[in-house]
Structure 1
């Protein structure tokens, strides 16, 4: 009776399996692979079968997905000019501001001419001074709204309506003041103002000095002008002052005021054109036109008070 052959051993060099006893045996450890397993990663690896639905992708560690870009303007971006990098946007912004400013100055100059040239109109506004104080109150209210309320100066058409009413009110105030001076004085003051504003604007655009950083200097000059004016008023009320002394004090105050508004015009022009430390957002065209308009008209009134002859 024949005996059955012994079972193969893993230590047998002739075994086609994974032998490790004899390193010189042929195909030792690299024989035929075992039969395929029903699940897992091969023979004796210890990995379980993948779950139904495939393998899940490994999650990244230490890295957060980028957030969507925020296109809104913060307060720092509005004054730092980060939203002002595109030159086409800047050109359109400047064009829009100067078109609005030209319309405002045209309305104001037209009303000033009517109040100065038409004597019955000038007499009416001078004799009804209560209309001036009503327009002054509306001027303060509208200015606070346009400067402090962002939606009021950015929402169309409310921004243009507020600006139009503001321009009419301030033009009435300017015309009332100009009606007290001779027509020649008004025209000369208007010409001087135009020449000064043109020269100052060219200087503000071409200079390398960043006047947007001079807020402390401008504030200090404003406080000096304010307290000097209050002191002059107290002197006028308490002690009688002759004409010469009063004229000197008026010229000194007017000179400081003109210098202050020239600085305001330089700063507002540089904020408009950009390229400095601070600049306006392209959405602030109403604010830019408003500030330039006030700088020019106040400079006109100061020059008129310095050199103008009253009727």
Structure 2
């Protein structure tokens, strides 16, 4: 077997003395077989320099590791929730965790709908109050027919229980809107009846103070970093204490206790207004579901009307005497 000629040096190549082979030298087929078996080459016979130590055989090609995307990977094992996460995931009474309001557009539409309904409710209540306070004939009719007031009070409680406790009713249209309208008429009649026992000046003063308090509490609850939505249990205990204190005021007929009761009531429902406003605006620990716009408007409406009634009781003098 003849060996392949060595490569020319640089001087020979530049001087034109080197003559490169124009055809491959004869190759022993036995060597090609051994070479292909050892190195896995597939160059075939006639490959030049295959037996020359100056030209080592090529290494076998090793493909790189594949990094193809696996469309169905094994799911990661679920991590158990800690106590805080489990508590924040609880839903009750229309309240949900803050993750339910991930879409800001849905939240803005929800807020716009709630305050639009609230504006209609307040306009209706203001119309009833103005009619009962300024019209003497209507005022005399209310005083002579007290059974209408007690009937409206009973309907007020019935509609309130249905709207608060029955989730299907307050989320089904148009049943929720009809019941909310009837509830608004009942509470407006009650507010007008109570306002008719006070003079016009006291009603106007209470209305002005109520408007300022509601506006200030709403702006404060939106801007503050304090989370009022975590104070639901505290507000419930304060409501129970105020309810029991009201019974004491009924049987004592003490003017000082009546004034204290009215002041505490206005303060408590101002806190409820901040609580309900943060539930509607969102961004806190708990929020109201976007489907409960009737429930949200109901809460704000009750808070504002009761603030007005407590302030009227605080600053007004009865005109029955």
TM-score normalized with structure 2 length: 0.71
How far the C-alpha of 1:227 sits from its partner, in A, is 2.0
Q: 1:124 to 1:216 in 2, by over 3 A?
A: same
Matched residue, 2:317: 309
Q: Does 1:279 align with 2:279?
A: no
Matched residue, 2:260: 252
How far the C-alpha of 1:232 sits from its partner, in A, is 2.8
Matched residue, 1:105: 122
How far the C-alpha of 1:184 sits from its partner, in A, is 1.3
Question: Contact 1:211/1:267 (CA < 8 Å) preserved in 2?
Answer: yes
Matched residue, 1:181: 198
How far the C-alpha of 1:199 sits from its partner, in A, is 0.4
User: Over aligned residues, Cα RMSD in angstroms?
Assistant: 3.0
Q: Distance in 1 between matches of 2:116 and 2:275?
A: 19
Q: Does 1:86 align with 2:96?
A: no
Matched residue, 2:91: 75
Which stretch has the larger CA shift, 107-116 or 208-217? Answer: 208-217
Count, aligned residues: 250
Q: 1:174 to 1:27 in 2, by over 3 A?
A: closer
Q: Does 1:144 align with 2:161?
A: yes
Q: Which whole-Å deviations, capped at 9, do the CAs of 1:38-68 have from their partners, x for residues lacking one?
A: xxxxxxxxxxxxxxxxxxxxxx99769xxxx
Of 293, 297, 302, which residue of structure 2 is paired with 1:289? 297
Q: Distance in 2 between matches of 1:92 and 1:61?
A: 39
How far the C-alpha of 1:271 sits from its partner, in A, is 0.3
How far the C-alpha of 1:78 sits from its partner, in A, is 4.3
Of 143, 147, 154, which residue of structure 2 is paired with 1:130? 147
Larger Rg: 2
Q: 1:81 to 1:62 in 2, by over 3 A?
A: closer
Matched residue, 1:298: 306
Q: Distance in 1 between matches of 2:191 and 2:259?
A: 20
How far the C-alpha of 1:233 sits from its partner, in A, is 2.9
TM-score normalized with structure 1 length: 0.73
Question: Contact 1:81/1:281 (CA < 8 Å) preserved in 2?
Answer: no
Q: Distance in 2 between matches of 1:107 and 1:234?
A: 33
Q: 1:128 to 1:276 in 2, by over 3 A?
A: same
How far the C-alpha of 1:217 sits from its partner, in A, is 1.9
Q: Distance in 2 between matches of 1:61 and 1:81?
A: 30
Q: Secondary structure at the match of 2:291?
A: coil
Matched residue, 2:217: 200
Matched residue, 1:5: none
Q: Does 1:170 align with 2:187?
A: yes
Q: 1:27 to 1:151 in 2, by over 3 A?
A: closer
Q: Distance in 1 between matches of 2:173 and 2:199?
A: 40
Q: Which whole-Å deviations, capped at 9, do the CAs of 1:89-141 have from their partners, x for residues lacking one?
A: 11111111010000000000001100000001011011100011111110000
Question: Contact 2:129/2:195 (CA < 8 Å) preserved in 1?
Answer: yes
Q: Secondary structure at the match of 2:147?
A: helix
Question: Contact 2:90/2:97 (CA < 8 Å) preserved in 1?
Answer: no
Q: Secondary structure at the match of 2:290?
A: coil
Q: Which whole-Å deviations, capped at 9, do the CAs of 1:230-263 have from their partners, x for residues lacking one?
A: 2233434xxxxxxxxx211111111111111011
Question: Contact 2:156/2:186 (CA < 8 Å) preserved in 1?
Answer: yes
Q: Distance in 2 between matches of 1:78 and 1:219?
A: 15
Q: Distance in 2 between matches of 1:27 and 1:300?
A: 100
